[in-house]
Amino acid sequence: MARIVGGLTTSHIPAIGRAIADKKQQDPYWKPFFDAFPPVREWLDKVKPDVAVIFYNDHGLTYFLDKMPTFGIGAAPEYHHADEGWGIPTTGSFKGDPKLSWHIIENVVADEFDPIMNQEMLVDHAFTIPMQLMYPAEGVWPVRTVPITINSVQHPLPTPKRCFDFGRAVGRAIESYPEDLKVVVLGTGGLSHQLDGERAGFINKEFDLWCMDKVVNDPEALTKLSVRDIVEKAGSQGVELLTWIAMRGAMTGRVTNPHKSYHIPISNTASAVMLFENTPVPAAKAA
């Protein structure tokens, strides 16, 4: 059976992609951020996942405001990164896993979720930058991928509880897949940031650190927040926390956090990197 070996969270702002392209990893402004990733890469090299399931928010490359699904799941054999207009280079294509994708889709629909099924899909910087951070060898992706989008752009947004429950359904689907696969789940975005309006540049370190603790030790606490709470406490773009909540929901074993990093600011954003290990909990023996 497939098993979820762990999870990762990271910021995905376009400026990171520009810094990678310009090879600024050792620049004083960028070094504290990039220094958080060697432990992540060491873990990936040791565990060697077969598939990365990536929860992220599309910024208009696949969906636009006239058609904005709450949840979307890629089911293509390959995903491409087109020019987004941010000034960041496009990346090579990413191999999909259609069999696993359709298994996830069928199971989450059976769990009464209604995702868009994408047999053709472009992936944007929220997907590609985390992949570049995990696997910095240019254009070399040793994992197959399943993109899963969560609307954090156009209201009404799904509630944190809805995203957690959706992540749970995805996790159950993965773990019921009959092939022997190692899967890593990602949540990308945030943490607190606001890019527009009177609160442009807003960062809430106290709330960010609270979220980083709860996503490990008490994810149910995050489900008690409303979308309005998150916007108030983390800024209008801080709702990307929804992808973290879904990622955490997918891990149903004993979750530990061997590595984390928090750094502010990167392009007016509070950036965080977290690595999770997911150890299956043995089933209780029958009395």
CB burial of residue 286 (10 Å; 0-12, 13-18, 19+): exposed
Q: What pLDDT sits at residue 236?
A: 85
Q: What pLDDT sits at residue 149?
A: 98
Residue 163 lies in a domain: yes
Query: Per residue in 122-158, is it b (16+ CB within 10 Å) or e — as a string?
Result: bbbbbbbbbbbbbbeeeeebebbbbbbbbbbbeeebb
pLDDT band for position 283 (50/70/90)?
low
Residue 284 lies in a domain: no
Residue 205 lies in a domain: yes
Q: What pLDDT sits at residue 137?
A: 85
Residue 48 lies in a domain: yes
Residue 286 lies in a domain: no
pLDDT in tens, 128-141: 999 999 999 877 89
pLDDT in tens, 153-166: 999 999 999 999 99
Residue 287 lies in a domain: no
pLDDT in tens, 33-44: 999 999 999 999
Of all residues in the chain, the percent with pLDDT exceeding 90 is 80
Number of domains composing the chain: 1
The whole-angstrom separation of Cα 145 and Cα 110 is 22
The two tokens of residue 249 are: 């929901």
> What does the chain come to in residues?
287
Residue 285 lies in a domain: no
- The whole model's pTM is what? 0.94
* Active-site annotation, residues: 125, 193
Residue 225 lies in a domain: yes
Q: Which residues contact 229 (CB under 8 A, 6 or more apart)?
A: none
Q: Domain containing 191: what range?
A: 3-279
pLDDT band for position 235 (50/70/90)?
confident
pLDDT in tens, 85-110: 888 888 889 999 999 999 999 999 99
Q: Categorise residue 162: left if φ over 0, alpha if ψ from -120 to 50, beta otherwise.
A: alpha
- Which of 158, 152, 139 has its CA nearest to residue 189? 152
Q: What pLDDT sits at residue 209?
A: 96
pLDDT in tens, 252-280: 899 999 999 999 988 888 899 999 999 98
Can you give the CATH number for the domain in which 119 is found? 3.40.830.10
Average pLDDT over residues 233-258: 93
The whole-angstrom separation of Cα 233 and Cα 224 is 14
pLDDT in tens, 48-69: 999 999 999 999 889 999 999 9
pLDDT in tens, 173-214: 999 999 999 999 999 998 988 877 888 878 899 999 999 999
pLDDT band for position 286 (50/70/90)?
very low
